[in-house]
């Protein structure tokens, strides 16, 4: 029988029901019955996560629905309680001197993750955590409030995407003028929200005994096997190997078009003939994706059929729906869910190549006995999604038509490379921010402007005054929402590019290694997952140089 999204239900927990569950688990531990305690705790966490995922998904599907709003508020208020109880159990388990016994019962990596988690929380920072989520929610709603007039219509910031990559240079220029006018208008509030976030994060770090927020930020992302020095070396590699190639590609584009200078608004038009678009509407893409996945592998094809037929895809843009796209999961059931907003551009194809990668990983990992292993940490999770973007290359004729497939692959590859300098710049900026928590807003803008010259020396904002003065970072939600989360995409891209190189030589072997990596889920830290897939760690010298060489050859640069 087909599993259906409509059948998934979860009982709404209360403070009392959570406390009662917690007491049961404590009682089992008191009685010395650790296996039963671990099993009951895992069931309770899955139940809570399924409920929480459903509540947040239903809100995203209709942000104007009063019931969905009140459920989300309720879930957000309950989340810190659930975290506090969870941390208490982790502390208790970790206090057991029999570490080896705990590791064999719960998994060595899970124990390492819990070690990391308990170092990020203390009841003394509860109010700070609430402040942090309030400030970052305010940033989200400020950006969501943008209503921009362009091309005779009114769009939000993500609705600007088709205009920002329009083949007509004047339209692209206008799109960027409108975008940055919005940020300039709200500049003071954006500065003050960020100042608030940096202050509250630094305060939490101090209360927990850290000198700055940086080590706490790394721990909150559950990074157990690398640190800021490794990341700094990776940024240097991007500067050494990727920046010159991207500069060359952009210079070629400028010459091809006969422009005197390549402006900021020209960067999104990767293909001189116009970025390739999907060859049909959402129904067309949804059907074509079935053919594509069936051709790639039996498990991938079968899984996609299950998602599609079971109602686990919500792809169309409609009034009241939250922006963006994501993949969420219901750990009691095992089937994930993809949420997206189609715009009619090539970004729609990413739903089937990127979000499906996340979904497939989660599905393939459903057999892990430990809820901690259903998703990897974020830099590893993004390998599963970004690698699929490259593995689907040979089938792109199904999505964009046979005549545009090659142009699509070139566009995607150039986009992947051009992303790296920007991604590491976002990361470097945050390291400077949290090392200098007392900086003024104008000092922060100056920091960004200086780093931008280092990583993206080609950037020419022309008459766009606000980003020219160092304001571009304010458009990046991750900088506000989840500090230090962004380098993850660049680390994963380095690994995904390695899958691309391998698939050019051995498509079947690459697909097999990919599926095996997905099935490992989050059962190991980043470095170990990378090694187990036969990839070179992005932190190792030469990892980027090799893929950049191959890309340069393919792009004839
Ligand atoms: Zn992703």
Convert the pLDDT of each residue in 161-194 to its tens digit: 899 999 999 999 999 999 999 999 999 999 999 9
What tokens appear for 103 in the block?
Answer: 């590791």
The pLDDT mean for the chain works out to 95
Please tell me the distance between residue 356's alpha carbon and the centre of ligand 1 in angstroms: 9
Query: CA angle, corner 107, sides to 102 and 110, nearest 5?
Result: 95
What integer is the mean pLDDT of 435-444?
98
Evaluate if residue 465 carries a pLDDT over 90: yes
Please tell me the distance between residue 325's alpha carbon and the centre of ligand 1 in angstroms: 9
In which residue are the tokens 């003024």 written? 440
Please tell me the distance between residue 489's alpha carbon and the centre of ligand 1 in angstroms: 8
Please tell me the distance between residue 326's alpha carbon and the centre of ligand 1 in angstroms: 7
Please tell me the distance between residue 382's alpha carbon and the centre of ligand 1 in angstroms: 5
Burial of 463 (0-12, 13-18, 19+ CB in 10 A): exposed
Q: Is 549 helix (H, G, I), strand (E, B) or coil?
A: helix
Neighbouring-strand partners of residue 338: 313, 327
Please tell me the distance between residue 22's alpha carbon and the centre of ligand 1 in angstroms: 33
Mind giving me the DSSP string for 444-495? HHHHHHHHHHHH-TT---TT-HHHHTT-GGGG-HHHHHSTTTTHHHHHHHHH
Mind giving me the DSSP string for 99-130? HHHHHHHH-HHHHHHHHHHHTT--GGGHHHHH
Please tell me the distance between residue 494's alpha carbon and the centre of ligand 1 in angstroms: 14
Please tell me the distance between residue 358's alpha carbon and the centre of ligand 1 in angstroms: 7
**Which tens digit of pLDDT belongs to each residue from 37-87?**
999 999 999 999 999 999 999 988 998 899 998 998 899 889 888 999 999
What integer is the mean pLDDT of 549-557?
95
Please tell me the distance between residue 360's alpha carbon and the centre of ligand 1 in angstroms: 12
What tokens appear for 397 in the block?
Answer: 């004729």
Please tell me the distance between residue 551's alpha carbon and the centre of ligand 1 in angstroms: 22
Please tell me the distance between residue 122's alpha carbon and the centre of ligand 1 in angstroms: 30
Q: Which long-range contacts (CB under 8 A, 24 or more apart) does 289-298 make?
A: 289/352, 289/356, 289/398, 289/399, 291/395, 291/398, 292/352, 292/392, 292/395, 292/398, 292/399, 293/356, 295/395, 296/391, 296/392, 296/395, 296/511, 297/511, 297/515
The dihedral formed by the CA atoms of 465, 471, 472 and 475, expressed in degrees to the nearest 10: -120
Answer for the pair 534, 514: CB distance below 8 angstroms, yes or no: no
Task: Give CA–CA dist 90/118, Å, rounded.
Answer: 7
CATH class of 119-273+375-557: mainly alpha
Task: Give CA–CA dist 538/545, Å, rounded.
Answer: 10
Evaluate if residue 345 carries a pLDDT over 70: yes
Evaluate if residue 1 carries a pLDDT over 70: no
Helices (H), 365-440: 378-391, 397-400, 405-435
Please tell me the distance between residue 473's alpha carbon and the centre of ligand 1 in angstroms: 20
Please tell me the distance between residue 493's alpha carbon and the centre of ligand 1 in angstroms: 11
Q: Is 260 helix (H, G, I), strand (E, B) or coil?
A: coil
Evaluate if residue 158 carries a pLDDT over 90: no
Please tell me the distance between residue 29's alpha carbon and the centre of ligand 1 in angstroms: 38
Please tell me the distance between residue 357's alpha carbon and the centre of ligand 1 in angstroms: 8
**How many other C-beta atoms lie within 10 A of the C-beta of residue 114?**
21
Closest listed residue to residue 521, CA positions, set 365, 326, 344? 365
**Which tens digit of pLDDT belongs to each residue from 290-341?**
999 999 999 999 999 999 999 999 999 887 888 788 999 999 999 999 999 8
What tokens appear for 53 in the block?
Answer: 């995922």
Tell me the torsion sign for CA atoms 370, 372, 374, 379: negative
Please tell me the distance between residue 355's alpha carbon and the centre of ligand 1 in angstroms: 6
Please tell me the distance between residue 351's alpha carbon and the centre of ligand 1 in angstroms: 10
What tokens appear for 387 in the block?
Answer: 């690698």
What stretch of H or E contains 72? Answer: helix 66-95
Strands (E), 144-185: 148-150, 153-155
Please tell me the distance between residue 375's alpha carbon and the centre of ligand 1 in angstroms: 12
Q: What is the chain's Cα-based Rg?
A: 23
Please tell me the distance between residue 385's alpha carbon and the centre of ligand 1 in angstroms: 6
């Amino acid at each position: 029988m087909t599993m259906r999204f409509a059948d998934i239900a979860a009982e709404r927990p209360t403070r009392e029901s959570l406390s009662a569950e917690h007491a049961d688990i404590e009682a089992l531990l008191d009685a010395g019955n650790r296996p039963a305690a671990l099993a009951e705790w895992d069931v309770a966490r899955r139940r809570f996560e399924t409920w929480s995922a459903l509540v947040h998904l239903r809100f995203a599907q209709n942000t104007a629905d009063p019931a969905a709003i009140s459920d989300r508020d309720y879930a957000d208020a309950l989340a810190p309680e659930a975290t506090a109880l969870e941390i208490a159990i982790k502390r208790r388990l970790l206090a057991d001197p029999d570490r080896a016994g705990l590791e064999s019962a719960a998994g060595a990596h899970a124990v390492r993750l819990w070690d990391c988690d308990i170092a990020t929380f203390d009841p003394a920072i509860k109010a700070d955590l609430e402040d942090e989520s309030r400030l970052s929610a305010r940033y989200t709603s400020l950006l969501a409030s943008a209503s921009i007039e362009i091309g005779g219509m009114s769009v939000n910031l993500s609705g600007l995407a088709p205009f920002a990559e329009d083949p007509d240079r004047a339209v692209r220029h206008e799109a960027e003028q409108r975008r940055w006018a919005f940020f300039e208008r709200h500049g003071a509030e954006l500065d003050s929200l960020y100042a608030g976030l940096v202050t509250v994060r630094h305060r939490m770090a101090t209360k927990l005994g850290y000198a700055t927020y940086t080590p706490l930020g790394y721990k909150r992302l559950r990074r157990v096997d690398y640190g800021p020095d490794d990341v700094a070396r990776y940024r240097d590699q991007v500067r050494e190997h990727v920046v010159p190639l991207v500069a060359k590609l952009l210079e070629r584009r400028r010459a091809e078009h006969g422009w005197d200078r390549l402006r900021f608004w020209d960067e999104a038009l990767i293909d001189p003939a116009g970025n390739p678009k999907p060859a049909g509407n959402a129904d067309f893409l949804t059907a074509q994706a079935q053919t594509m996945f069936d051709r790639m592998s039996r498990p991938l094809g079968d899984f996609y059929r299950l998602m599609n037929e079971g109602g686990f895809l919500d792809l169309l843009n409609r009034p009241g729906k939250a922006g963006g796209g994501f993949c969420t999961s219901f750990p009691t059931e095992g089937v994930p869910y993809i949420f997206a907003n189609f715009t009619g551009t090539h970004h729609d194809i990413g739903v089937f190549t990127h979000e499906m990668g996340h979904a497939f990983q989660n599905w393939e990992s459903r057999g892990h006995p430990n809820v901690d292993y259903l998703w990897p940490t974020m830099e590893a999770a993004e390998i599963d999604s970004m690698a699929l973007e490259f593995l689907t290359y040979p089938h792109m004729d199904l999505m964009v038509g046979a005549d545009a497939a090659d142009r699509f692959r070139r566009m995607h590859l150039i986009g992947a490379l051009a992303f790296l300098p920007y991604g590491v710049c976002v990361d470097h900026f945050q390291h400077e921010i949290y090392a200098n928590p007392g900086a003024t807003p104008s000092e922060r803008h100056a920091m960004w402007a200086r780093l931008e010259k280092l990583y993206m020396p080609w950037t020419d904002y022309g008459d766009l005054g606000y980003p020219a003065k160092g304001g571009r970072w304010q458009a990046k939600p991750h900088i506000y929402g989840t500090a230090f989360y962004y380098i993850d995409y660049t680390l994963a891209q380095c690994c995904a590019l390695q899958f691309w190189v391998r698939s050019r030589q051995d498509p079947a072997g690459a697909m097999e290694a990919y599926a095996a990596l997905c099935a490992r889920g989050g059962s190991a830290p980043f470095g170990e997952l990378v090694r187990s897939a036969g990839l070179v760690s992005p932190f190792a010298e030469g990892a980027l140089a090799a893929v950049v060489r191959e890309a340069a050859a393919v792009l004839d640069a």
